[in-house]
Chain A
Amino acid sequence: MRRRDFLYLTSLATGASILPSMPLFGKEISLEDALNPVDVALKKKMADVALNTAKSLGATYADVRIGRYLNQVVATREKRVQNIANTESYGMGIRVIANGSWGFAATNILDNDSIAKAASLAVAIAKGNSKLLTEPVKLAPQKGYGEVSWKTPIQKNAFEVPIKEKVDLLLNVNAVAMQAGAKFVNSSIFMVNEQKYFASTDGSYIDQDIHRIWPNFTVTKIDAASGKFETRNALSAPMGMGFEYLTPLESEKIKGGPVTMYKKRYDILEDVKEATLHVEEKLKAKPVEPGKYDLILDPTHLFLTIHESVGHPTELDRVLGYEANYAGTSFLTLDKWESKKFNFGSKQVNILADKTEQGSLGAVGYDDEGVKCGNWNIIKDGVLVNYQTIRDQAHILGLPASQGCCYADSWSSIQFQRMPNVSLAPGNTPMSAADMVKNVEKGIYMFGRNSYSIDQQRYNFQFSSQLAYEIKDGKIVGMLKDASYQANTQEFWNSCTQLADKNDYRLGGTFSDGKGQPGQVSAVSHGCPTTRFNGVNIINTGRKIG
């Protein structure tokens, strides 16, 4: 059984236990404490203790991350608040190279003795590991930036918004759904603030303040007579934004299709009302006839297909085999990149890796090994041109510097290569999603993420959606159920024929992309416009039990 499954079972076993169930660990703190960051001068002092100790014990390189990770969750169900939790996790992770090997140790006791002890443990582990070394670590050069800082450009710090305001909003969401005939409704807002300090023997002292927010709900309706139930989740996106994401703005909405779509502002009350109507339609929807269809995929759905079929196979550590025992390897082997003519997708397909896009979950000033962030092409005019790298991988691609893709989900986790935002560029010809529907003879229009599965080298995948509409002769004619598409990554991206323009471009994302052993999560966005794929295989997943 996978660790995540085990944790799930454990949380079931403990039932309504003492701690509110939180996806991330941490100690609970008061709101006032959360708003007072640790003094930068103090952090520099602590970092220097670690760096100096490591160097004095023979480390040829060392970096320190002092992380204060704040999470707040407000979760409700129908008329009841299920959970209000405010947690903090604070500590230091020290990574060193000694005898050519990596070593790592972490501590949450931040007096000088404990820091020095952790630094010496990291050096001892590196020296121990060097006995099994085949090739010493080669780090791409990185200049020190001195003392610098970066902050997510938020308008309203979600941690400063009173809990009552959040509770009232969510109970209002639930009331709208219940009034419209929902049987059950769960709603939540999940907020993250990473206060991260990085220092290295290269001479960087980087202070960052990173914010993320994720509002979500699930509306459920039950048809007792048939024993069937259906749900619809929010079509929101987790964002690298403050609480302003929850202040609706008409100019950030796209109307006119079967579903209202949201850009960088989300109207949760409007979406839950639509969702409740959708669930009723889902209960009455027609089972899909299996076969080939032209798919139109909305960004609320397509982002996850991009994540799984483009984001993961272009992670260089997977390509090289470092993730073979867990996440898997990749079909995008180095020879395909070296050939400079591997047709990943059709000519319209341009995919950009990015760590700077405003509002995205991956946007930071510097990564977790002190590299300034930027963007680069991964797929250019359909051809594979690049991967995602960190400092100890850059030399493999002959790159002069890291691409800044290093991340750790906690001070106590070892930083490693994680996915930047990987986004599909919009089309250059003016086109709306509504225009795109008009040209489709036999198609399905999908919104929202649902089931997703892909093999360990990222060839074969299967996805389903929250909503699937049947298109006949350029018109949406009704809702379908039990529709999943199965495809091969390269064939799928080569069947891409149309992209809506930049006015339709939106971000989707996930808070919990899993990778590594021990497992770590990271938050990442994927931007794209509504996009058409021709002749994709649809299966019907309806079955009967009992």
Chain B
Amino acid sequence: MAILSKEEAQAILKKALSFSKSDSCEVSLNGSEGGNIRYARNAVSTAGQISTMDLAVSATFGKKTGSATINEFDDASIEKVVKRAEELAQLAPENPEFMPLLGPQDFPESPTYIPKTAAITPDTRAEMVAKSLQVVKEAKLEAAGFLENGTNFNAIMNSKGLFAYNKSTDVSFSVTVRNQEGTGSGYVDQGFNDVDKMDTLALSKIAAKKATGSAGAKAIEPGKYTVILEPLAASDMLGNMFRGFDARSADEGRSFMSKKGGGTRLGEQLFSENVNLYSDPMNPDLPSATWNGDGLRLKRTQWVEKGVVKNLAYSRYWAAQKGVEPVPFGRSFVMEGGNQSLEDLIKGTEKGILVTRFWYIRSVDPQTLLLTGLTRDGTFYIENGEIKFPVKNFRFNESPVIMLNNVEALGKPVRMGNVMVPPMKIRDFTFTSLSDAV
């Protein structure tokens, strides 16, 4: 029941709109079906499965809007939820930022749904985890991991005739492998739409190798180092920055994208020339729905080109205030790179630190986007193009904006959950203290 076809979703949404008496009405239907399995100390700890479906109604009289949601779908319930949204709208204060609804739009279909992923059962999940456990047990190591998959559909319709539908699948897997002494730890984390791309055995081998290789880490002085960030570490740093590409907070003067004296940094060279960032819902390695909740079409959008800020996201309201076209946020981001592998980057490094991932990243200063956090699960010293020895974890204080001004080389982009990023070689990365954590 939870995953409806385009036609089934359309029928429920049409029915909801047929009960509407408001000036304008938006309805949306979302459903998901999925399960997960979690393991630790080389045994399964918890597992579960859940499916949900919700209908949301947003009714507007003039500029007064009310919203209501329900998870029952008989005619009486659908009528009730529309009525409730309308009652709330009558009680609501006027929203001066209300935007009239969009009419019909064309949304191309994105390759987000893979039937084989949708067909995953609890047994499939257990088998995938068994493969991971096999690798780890054979190596006499200890694993804690998590595998989750889901099928989702989303549909929106409004009283001006707009309709959009998308169905997607996803599967994600992460595992931490530690040695029995607790002196070494490794980690991998991957997500795909297509379960065939998910190899829990190969991934667990990488984590196991890092666990063994990171044992007996030496302490070296914190300070500024050339670092090679694996794609996971790079995505950890950049995730925080993407959120800052918002025109309104930049215009309001409260973002790293705000310009001294007023305005935004749109058009400024904010990063190194080799930095290019875009989002594209049709990217075959990282597909997403081609529309957002406002009914805006998502297209390929270049955010940064050769280090210059090319676009900021404008909501429909803020675009109208500024007299520009709306620019919706991407649902995912891609940072372009080159053709080098991680190994190539290591080979080309005289002295540096290889970082597997970061952990507990928090914003320290929103004006400079300064972040703090720590390395985790495999940090290594590189000399003359080779990994020499594992090093103790560091705390860093660094801004991704400063980091992207110090790019020495970029490798081939890899999907990491909902971003694609290359491994990166960065100079002068600031480590401020040591941590004893393994």
Contacts and interface: CB of A to CB of B under 8 A. Distances in A.
Chains A and B come from one and the same complex: yes
A464 B364 contact: yes
10 contacts: A15-B316, A18-B27, A84-B92, A106-B48, A220-B254, A225-B261, A325-B145, A455-B395, A457-B437, A537-B433
Interface stretch (B104-112, B235-243, B338-346, B347-355): B235-243
A9 B241 CA distance: 11
A493 B258 CA distance: 40
B234 to A, nearest CB: 11
A517 B292 CA distance: 27
B123 interface: yes
A143 interface: no
B144 A416 contact: no
Contacts of B96: 80
B293 A17 contact: yes
B28 interface: yes
B142 interface: yes
Given A106-B50, A517-B38, A18 B56 contact: yes
Interface string A298-329: 00000000000000000000001111111011
B359 A541 contact: no
Interface in B202-251: 235-236, 239-240, 242-243, 246
B144 A325 contact: yes
B151 interface: no
A541 B96 CA distance: 39
B40 A19 contact: no
Contacts of B317: 16
B239 A325 contact: no
Interface in B87-143: 87-88, 91-93, 95-97, 99, 122-123, 126, 129-130, 133, 142
A545 interface: yes
Contacts of B262: 224
A486 B433 contact: yes
Contact of B360 (A167, A226, A454): A454
A541 B144 contact: no
Given A222-B254, A321-B144, A456 B376 contact: yes
A455 B46 contact: no
A1 B418 contact: yes
Interface stretch (A124-132, A208-216, A379-387, A430-438): A124-132
Interface in A11-25: 12-20
A539 to B, nearest CB: 6
Contacts of A1: 235-236, 239, 416-419
A103 B49 CA distance: 10
B95 A517 contact: no
B373 interface: yes
A488 interface: yes
Interface stretch (A26-34, A258-266, A360-368): A26-34
B69 A543 contact: no
Contacts, number: 294
Contacts of B254: 184, 220, 222, 229, 231
Nearest to B172: A3
Interface residues of A, number: 96
A460 interface: yes
B82 interface: no
A414 interface: yes
B4 interface: no
B39 A132 contact: yes
Contacts of B48: 104-106, 125, 414
Contact of B253 (A224, A414, A457): A224
Contacts of B95: 80-81
A208 to B, nearest CB: 23
B437 A108 contact: no
Which among A129, A131, A225, A226 has the highest number of chain B CB atoms within 10 Å? A129
A9 B43 contact: no
Contacts of B169: none
Given A322-B144, A454-B360, A517-B38, A228 B374 contact: no
B331 A9 contact: yes
B344 to A, nearest CB: 25
The 10 closest A-B pairs by CB, nearest first: A17-B293, A14-B293, A227-B260, A460-B435, A324-B144, A455-B437, A457-B437, A1-B417, A325-B144, A27-B69
A103 B38 CA distance: 12
Contacts of A546: 265, 268, 270, 401
B47 A104 contact: yes
Given A18-B26, A412-B50, 6 more contacts: A15-B328, A167-B93, A183-B253, A456-B360, A458-B437, A460-B433
